[in-house]
Amino acid sequence: MSDFEPKIVGFFCNWCTSSAADLAGTSRLQYPANVRPIRVPCSGTVDPVYLLRALREGADGVMVGGCHPGDCHYITGNLKARRRVKIVKTILESLRLPADRVLLAWISGSEGAKFQRVVTEFTNKLKEMGPSDLSKKWK
In Å, the largest CA–CA distance within the chain is 43
For residue 51, list its beta bridge partners. none
- In the shown chain, the binding pattern of residues 17 to 36 toward other proteins, with x for contact by CB under 8 A and - for none, equals -xx--xx-xxxxxxxxx--x
* DSSP label at residue 71: -
46-81 burial, b if ≥16 CB within 10 A, otherwise e? bebebbbebbeeebbbbbbbbbeeeebeeeebbebb
Task: Answer yes or no whether residue 2 interacts with other proteins by CB under 8 A.
Answer: no
**Interactions with other proteins, residue window 73-132 (CB under 8 A):** 73-74, 108-114, 116-117, 120
**Interactions with other proteins, residue window 36-75 (CB under 8 A):** 36-41, 45, 47, 49-50, 53-54, 57-59, 71, 73-74
Nearest distance from C-beta of residue 31 to other proteins, angstroms = 7
Q: Is 131 exposed, middle or buried (0-12, 13-18, 19+ CB in 10 A)?
A: middle
Instruction: Identify which of residues 52 and 129 has a Cβ nearer to other proteins in the complex.
Output: 52
Of 121, 110, 9, 107, nearest to 66 by C-alpha is: 107
Instruction: Identify which of residues 51 and 96 has a Cβ nearer to other proteins in the complex.
Output: 51
Write out the residues near other proteins by the rule CB under 8 A.
7, 9, 14, 18-19, 22-23, 25-33, 36-41, 45, 47, 49-50, 53-54, 57-59, 71, 73-74, 108-114, 116-117, 120
